[in-house]
Structure 1
Amino acid sequence: MSEKNSTTETSVPLLAWGLLVLLALVWGSSFILIKKSLHVYSITEVAAGRVFLAFLFFVPVLLRSWRTIPKPLLKIFFISGMLGYLIPAFLIAIAQSEITSALAGTLNAVSPMFTMIVGVLFFARTTNRMQVAGLLIALGGALLLIFTKAGVAIPEVNSYALLIVLATLCYGTNINVVSKFYGDLSPVVSTAWIFAFVGPLSFGILLFTDFFGKMAEPANWMPSSFLISLGVLASGLMSVLFNRVIQLSSAVFAASVTYLMPIVALSWGLLDSETVGIQQWAGTVVILVGVYLINRRRKARKMSLELDNPLS
């Protein structure tokens, strides 16, 4: 039994890798979309708006599946919606009002560390020395970024950067929740029900803002399209694919998307004339070294299992 489980955890199908790259491209671009949306929309409107728009995307799925959803999971869906979407949306929007999109994107690389820590402490996950070493190296790179503001090294902690780190703690916790409770559910259905509670909550928040008036203004079509992309594509469709990656592989592998996102976020930042200093580049490189060690260990372990069990 242990051999089978280990093989399942270490054997990552090609489809999971393909979806991981697609997720990195879309989610890595979300930070520049947040930045552009904040030119017109407030922090509250961007954060609650993207969650509400994602909820609208899933309404047809909710209408079709409400009779079959396991009732004991309703509380878990709410927790997952708060930790995985609504709370991080506000934390990231607040942070990006003061830091660059490139820095926000690269800081998301802390997520796998929290995925592992929360998994080991509360979800009975196991790990190995090489995996821990890789995540610690990646965390070291993230610490370099925490002491960066607008691409320039600063002598004190950037408090807005810490908001991104707090968001990744929420992400890491939610990844473990998804992995533990939603394994037998369709990724589309489980993701839709995650938004079933936070979507209406976001709508209630938006009623106290000028969100709908701004959406109806033709002059705002560009930032509105950015916000719609954040909701429907990044928070909606990509969330389905992310849950599918977890089902195909593991929570830690799925969280590795945050190692690829910095490349995309940095690229968009440079194209948008953001300042990216040496310390930020160094932090990103250190993070990528960490994920290389993790993936190298995973492949080596897979080969060993195949030799030990030629019938696998």
Structure 2
Amino acid sequence: MKHIQVKWLYLFILSIIWGSSFILIKKSLLGLTPYQLGSLRTVITAIFLLLVGYKKLKQINKKQWKWIALSGFIGSFIPAYLFAIAETEIDSSVTSILNSLVPLNTILLGFAVFRISSTRRQVLGVIVGFIGTAILILKGSELNPEQNYLYAGFVILSTVMYGLNVNIIKRHLQDVKPLAIASGNYIIIVIPALIILFLSDFFNTETFQNPHFKMSLVYVTILSFFGTALAKVLFNKLIQMSTPVFASSVTYIMPIVALIWGVLDGETFTPLQGFATIIILIGVYLSHQKSSNTIILGKQ
């Protein structure tokens, strides 16, 4: 009974942490540019992870480093900038809902790239999920004409990268400890992040004079420690104590937390957008359900 209670506690904590990440990005952007935010998030996370995981790097052999590097860039480095750029135009709550497409894109890429089989129910889930996405984006652009909803494409591209990253880790890094993977990712991507930070005029006097600068640093530090470094460790622990299916159910709760933060911050959210959210989450739910009617979309 105690073990069951602990896994639910982990799920709840992760939902709060990841659901709050989107409002932290929004607040960080008050005093930072998207490129400064993406770079700082990577650099600060690298410091946290390498302090506790540096010794784990020896577990990675030479052949695996190319996959570690690819995983780092598509699973952490590029999305950190894409999410920041997206939230310069669209609400944090909408961004969080679009992020729920990760499981659907994981299935699509698993079939298209890695030839992994899928079920009819999973295929239906993908279709339903993308219908909900279309409604959400179209209604959002109508409701907020001053916002450029083409920027939703940056979030969708990030979810594709996350889906590809999951498949890469599953196929090529299965025998590497999660902390070693994360530490390896960040020891590689921290250098280009520092270069971009330097080129973004972060060390310019005008940046430091921004009245929101100090609080933005606080927000991005919280985001890096809790939303990236700590969350990775907690999620891996949750998978170990439960199942991947149970752990992935955090996807259903995150948008609720993000929506609450968004509404509290003055973001508008209509009943139709709520309906679109439900459609997306139904699609995610269907994609995670097993069925005896399997469509062999690829090799077993």
Q: Corresponding residue for 1:268?
A: 261
User: How far is the alpha carbon of 1:120 from its aligned partner?
Assistant: 1.5
Q: Corresponding residue for 1:178?
A: 169
Q: C-alpha separation between the residues in 2 aligned to 1:176 and 1:245? A: 19
Q: Corresponding residue for 2:195?
A: 204
User: How far is the alpha carbon of 1:243 from its aligned partner?
Assistant: 4.3
Compare 143-152 and 95-104 and name the one that shifted more: 143-152
Q: Corresponding residue for 1:308?
A: none
Name the Cα RMSD after superposition: 3.0
Match of 1:286 among 279, 285, 292: 279
Residue-pair matches, total: 285
Compare 60-69 and 224-233 and name the one that shifted more: 60-69
1:56–1:43 Cα change, 3 Å? same
Q: C-alpha separation between the residues in 2 aligned to 1:215 and 1:261? A: 33
Compare 77-86 and 221-230 and name the one that shifted more: 221-230
User: 2:103, 2:287 within 8 Å by CA — same for their partners in 1?
Assistant: no
Q: Corresponding residue for 2:230?
A: 237
Q: C-alpha separation between the residues in 1 aligned to 2:58 and 2:161? A: 29
1:78–1:87 Cα change, 3 Å? same
Q: C-alpha separation between the residues in 2 aligned to 1:229 and 1:30? A: 9
Q: C-alpha separation between the residues in 1 aligned to 2:196 and 2:79? A: 16
User: 1:135, 1:291 within 8 Å by CA — same for their partners in 2?
Assistant: yes
Compare 235-244 and 108-117 and name the one that shifted more: 235-244
The two structures have a TM-score, normalised by structure 2, of 0.83
Task: Deviation per CA, 1:2-25: give whole Å up to 9, x if none.
Answer: xxxxxxxxxxx8876654443332
**Percent identity over the alignment?**
35
User: 1:188, 1:240 within 8 Å by CA — same for their partners in 2?
Assistant: yes
Q: C-alpha separation between the residues in 2 aligned to 1:118 and 1:292? A: 18
Q: C-alpha separation between the residues in 1 aligned to 2:142 and 2:6? A: 35
2:68 corresponds to 1:81: no
The two structures have a TM-score, normalised by structure 1, of 0.80
Taking the TM superposition and a 5 Å limit, the aligned residue runs for 1:117-132 are 117-132=108-123
> Structure 2: where are the runs of 5+ without partners?
293-300
User: How far is the alpha carbon of 1:93 from its aligned partner?
Assistant: 0.8
Task: Deviation per CA, 1:273-309: give whole Å up to 9, x if none.
Answer: 11112331111111222344455x44x87xxxxxxxx
User: How far is the alpha carbon of 1:241 from its aligned partner?
Assistant: 3.2
1:14–1:169 Cα change, 3 Å? farther
User: 2:18, 2:227 within 8 Å by CA — same for their partners in 1?
Assistant: yes
**Letter aligned with residue 94 of structure 2:** L
Q: Corresponding residue for 2:47?
A: 56
1:113–1:38 Cα change, 3 Å? same
**Letter aligned with residue 284 of structure 1:** T
Q: Corresponding residue for 2:97?
A: 106
Q: Corresponding residue for 2:16?
A: 25
> Structure 1: where are the runs of 5+ without partners?
1-12, 302-312
Match of 1:93 among 48, 67, 84: 84
Q: Corresponding residue for 1:277?
A: 270
Q: Corresponding residue for 1:305?
A: none
User: How far is the alpha carbon of 1:206 from its aligned partner?
Assistant: 1.1
Task: Deviation per CA, 1:229-253: give whole Å up to 9, x if none.
Answer: 1112212121233345566644x76
User: 1:106, 1:262 within 8 Å by CA — same for their partners in 2?
Assistant: yes
Where 1:67 maps in the other structure, the secondary structure is helix
Q: Corresponding residue for 2:296?
A: none
User: 1:37, 1:224 within 8 Å by CA — same for their partners in 2?
Assistant: yes
Q: C-alpha separation between the residues in 2 aligned to 1:253 and 1:76? A: 27
**Letter aligned with residue 271 of structure 2:** I
